[in-house]
Amino acid sequence: MISGFDIGQEILESIQKVYRKKLRYVILRFDDKYQNLLLIKTAKYEKFDKSTFSEIVDYYTSQCPKSFLYSFFHFEYNNKSGHFRNRVACLKIGIPERAEIREKMIYASSYKHLQQVTKCNTYIDCTDISSLEYDNIVEMLIEKCEKYE
């Protein structure tokens, strides 16, 4: 955990809205001093379209390609048996080779704290270009979650 790092009530409430199907996703990043986690962007929960996920990737590639961000996203997919599933996953998005060492350390340690505080049970590290594709993330979700289905 980062010394002095706290997750604000607004962020926790927004994450709960993702679970309650009020929001499709939230995007979170640290401020410039790495003291506060900021709520950057949200999207309403509407009929699912893969392009909604591309909004997160577009934000990452245009606003922080040499850093990281977190996103809680409400996925909808069919498992290997063809059954419809929906699941909220916490994504850590960032390509480590592009980031400074300090950023890597801060986001890695805060990721553990975020996992503990939000109690989300599905986490995915998106650490290369291919892992930023929606279908690849769904494959990871299926692999991680099929033992529970």
Instruction: Quote the pTM value.
Output: 0.91
Q: What is the pLDDT along the chain (149 residues), one digit of tens a residue?
A: 454 577 899 999 999 999 999 999 999 999 988 888 999 999 999 988 888 999 999 999 999 999 999 999 999 999 888 999 999 999 999 999 999 999 999 998 898 888 888 888 899 999 998 999 999 999 999 998 876 65
Q: How far apart are CA 98 and CA 7, in angstroms?
A: 26
Q: How far apart are CA 124 and CA 70, in angstroms?
A: 10
Domain 9-148: CATH superfamily, name plus number:
Severin (3.40.20.10)
Distance, CA of 145 to chain centre: 16
Helix extents (H) in the chain? 9-19, 50-63, 101-118, 134-145
Count other C-beta atoms under 10 Å from residue 51's C-beta: 9
Task: Please list, in sequence order, all residues whose beta carbon lies within 8 angstroms of the beta carbon of residue 50, skipping any fewer than 6 positions away.
Answer: 134
Task: Tell me the domain boundaries of the chain.
Answer: 9-148
